[in-house]
Amino acid sequence: MTQRIAFQGEPGAYSHQACHETFPEAEPVPCPTFEDTVAEVRAGHAELAMLPVENSIYGRVADIHRMLPESGLHIIAEAFVRVHINLLGVPGAKLEDVKEAHSHLVLLPQCAAFLREHGIQGRVSPDNARAAREVAERGDRHVAALASELAAEVYGLDILAAHIEDHAHNTTRFLVMAPEIDMTRRGEGTMITSFVFRVRNIPAALYKAMGGFATNGVNMTKLESYMVDGSFSATQFYADIEGHPDDENVRLALDELGYFTSELKILGVYPSDPRRR
């Protein structure tokens, strides 16, 4: 039976690319929203979900951080995808024909220099893959989309200009989610443990909570804070650390963290993607 993996967006989206690169044999399942993506897995219609969590240009995907603790899913892997942005046009169109380029609001500024140089007006679309689909349906050589090579393949478009992003390091980190947590050690590299926590309402609680990681030599690669339920007094933290909960130093650090927190939840234990570094 073919494994199914859900992602947010239309076929050809960068999340689809992440699925294709990470699980080339799996059947991709496009979903309208992140919530729908999670629901597909919880309902048993897909075995895995591919969710973007942060990008090297525009930072974290805030909606995902809020969803993770209540999603009912667990992180079993991470995937880093290089975001190459391409100008896609209808077959036979040339770069000099293009007057408008449609794409997601986040992608347009990342190609600002190229668009300005060629006198192309950026137009906002809800989704870059949707922009590619609509360009194909419209059939106008003056209108193009900013999207992936995969989108060009899916919708039969020509790549009029490749890799036009302003920054060469544009990369998105994705989390692979599954219904059950996998605590086994996998791969030859470093294991990553992800968790969320809320500190107790005592002076210097966060400072004291973090002390256990320093004294036990545990490398914390990410610490993000965000409000809970719109409250200015309730803050939740998301963290990634290097190591496995069974490692002695990680166990001691988490024990100390637990003393200063009112809530602590392990979201996943998974191998570090080689592209992380």
Residue 112 has pLDDT above 80, yes or no: yes
* Residue 122, SS3 per DSSP: strand
Which are the catalytic amino acids? Answer: 172, 174
Q: Could you give the dihedral angle defined by the CA atoms of residues 126, 131, 134 and 140, in that order, rounded to the nearest 10 degrees?
A: 130
**Domains of the chain, start order:** 4-83+170-178 (3.40.190.10), 86-155 (3.40.190.10), 191-276 (3.30.70.260)
pLDDT given for residue 230 in this prediction: 61
Strand order of the sheet with strand 121-124?
121-124, 100-103, 143-147, 86-89, 158-161
The tokens of 40 are what? 């597909």
pLDDT given for residue 229 in this prediction: 66
Please give the average per-residue pLDDT across 165-185, as a whole number.
Answer: 93
Phi, psi values for residue 223, rounded to 5°: -145, 115
d(CA 150, CA 185): 33
- Of the ranges 74-83, 103-112, 197-206, 208-217, which one carries the lowest mean pLDDT score? 197-206
8 A C-beta contact, residue 200 and residue 260: yes
Residue 231 has pLDDT above 80, yes or no: no
Angle separating helix axes 205-215 and 248-259, nearest 10 degrees: 170
Q: What mean pLDDT is reported for the chain?
A: 92
Residue 235 has pLDDT above 80, yes or no: no
The tokens of 242 are what? 């290097």
Residue 228 has pLDDT above 80, yes or no: no
Cβ neighbour number for residue 262 with a 10 Å cutoff:
12
Please name which of 23, 38, 29 lies closest in space to residue 10, comparing C-alpha atoms: 29
The tokens of 230 are what? 């719109």
Q: Residues near 194 by Cβ (< 8 Å), separated by ≥ 6?
A: 75, 238, 239, 240, 266, 267, 268, 269, 270
Q: Which residue has the tokens 């997601």?
A: 104
259: confidence class by pLDDT, cuts 50, 70, 90: confident
- Of the ranges 52-66, 212-226, 236-250, which one carries the lowest mean pLDDT score? 52-66
pLDDT tens for 9-46 read 999 999 999 999 999 999 999 999 999 999 999 999 99
193: confidence class by pLDDT, cuts 50, 70, 90: very high
pLDDT tens for 162-172 read 999 998 888 99
